[in-house]
Amino acid sequence: MDTPRLDGRTLACIGVALVTWSSAYAAIAYALPAFRPGEVAFARLAIGSLCFALWLIAKRPPLPARRDWPQLALLGVIGLTVYHLALNYAETRIASGTAAILISLVPAATAALSALWLRERLPLRTLCGLGVALVGVVTVVLASGKQVRFEPMAALVLVSVAASAIYFVGQKPLFARSSVFGVTAFTFFAGTLGALPFATHLPQALAAAAWPRIGALLWLGLAPTFVGYIAWNVAIHRSSASQVSSFIYFSPPIAVLIGWVWLGERPGLLTLVGGTVTVGGVILSNTSGRRAPARPEAARGTKGYEHG
């Protein structure tokens, strides 16, 4: 089966997700001096869950079938609780450059899991594009001026990579019979409950924290979490999981740009070169050769198939 093309709405959703997710690095770094990694993870997920709950009350969409609740709960704990806890704890011990390099393995892990789980075909062009983009990501991180060293703690980031791939791929079959928003909301409720044991001292931390640190938690819960995950899951619903996930390679260059504008961290020439290579790799992995035009009947049937 041919890889679906990326339309304007899908690309817009990917862009929103990447910009908000890329801003999370600065927000997490700003919040960690006042909060423990588990507290940051719980607060972020709890704020996102509150947003989803309010949205469900206001819109009253169809809820996922009861038979899917156990799978949704498992995906929420793996893809949200485990992902955020592992990454937050790892970033207290390893260089951010090391974490960025390892997190950039998510597209490859998602593509491999999609091929095994969803039987999604991986063209040679896609594989080559992923490799080129990874080279660009490594170049950007190495040129950022931050120390890059591998430690045993980096294994936690690999846990985050695996958890993220399982979350992205595991949701896609559920989107075929439930709304994107309902599926995402349920996973967030489960993920928040999973992180609850790590937030026993959060009230005391909130009372002692300065309001800008608390503002960082609010930003994490609203923008990268609620808005970002909704936009990303809409994109995955409209295209293949492996194809959409390749755009995660854009995140490090976007994070560098945010640091330039927000923190005054001016990127060097090698950083810009690496960003260009990354963009080229993503374009290569999402560009297919000429294909025969779809029959009118098939085109009509595909256009009408949407959720949410």
Residue 290: the pLDDT is 42
d(C-alpha 230, C-alpha 190), whole Å:
16
Comparison of pLDDT for 289 and 16, the residue scoring more:
16
Q: What's phi and psi for 260, nearest 5 deg? A: -65, -50
Q: Residue 273 corresponds to which tokens in the numbers above?
A: 């070169």
Q: What's the pLDDT score for residue 149?
A: 57
Tell me the per-residue pLDDT of 160-202, one tens digit each, with 9 for 90 and over.
Answer: 988 998 998 888 888 788 887 888 899 999 999 999 999 999 9
pLDDT of residue 292: 41
Spatial CA neighbour of 82 closest among 174, 213, 170:
170
**Sign of the Cα pseudo-torsion (240, 242, 247, 252, in order):** positive
Q: Which of these, 243, 233, 298, 204, lies nearest to 80 by C-alpha position? A: 233
| Residue appearing with tokens 């300065």 | 210
d(CA 74, CA 29): 28
Taking the C-alpha atoms of residue 184 and residue 229, their distance in angstroms, rounded to an integer, is: 8
For residue 253, count CB atoms less than 10 angstroms from its CB and return exposed for 0-12, middle for 13-18, buried for 19 or more.
buried
The sign one gets for the Cα dihedral 46, 40, 236, 117 is negative
Distances (CA, A) of 196 to 24, 40, 44, 199, 204: 21, 11, 11, 5, 15
Q: Which of 94, 99, 123, 95 is nearest to 111 (CA)?
A: 123
| Least confident piece of the model among 185-199, 206-220, 273-287 | 273-287
Residue with tokens 């793996």: 78
Q: Specify whether the CB–CB gap between 111 and 245 falls below 8 A.
A: yes
What span, in angstroms and rounded, lies between the C-alpha atoms of 301 and 297?
Answer: 6
Cα(265)–Cα(272) distance, integer angstroms: 13
Q: CA geometry: angle at 9 spanning 248 and 2, to 5°? A: 70
Percent of the chain with pLDDT over 70: 76
Mean pLDDT of the chain: 79
Q: For residue 303, which amino acid is it?
A: K
Q: Are 251 and 137 in contact, with CB atoms under 8 Å apart?
A: no
pLDDT 10s digits, 50-87: 999 998 898 887 888 889 999 999 999 999 999 999 98
Name the residue with higher pLDDT: 96 or 160.
160
Tell me, what amino acid is at 80?
Answer: L
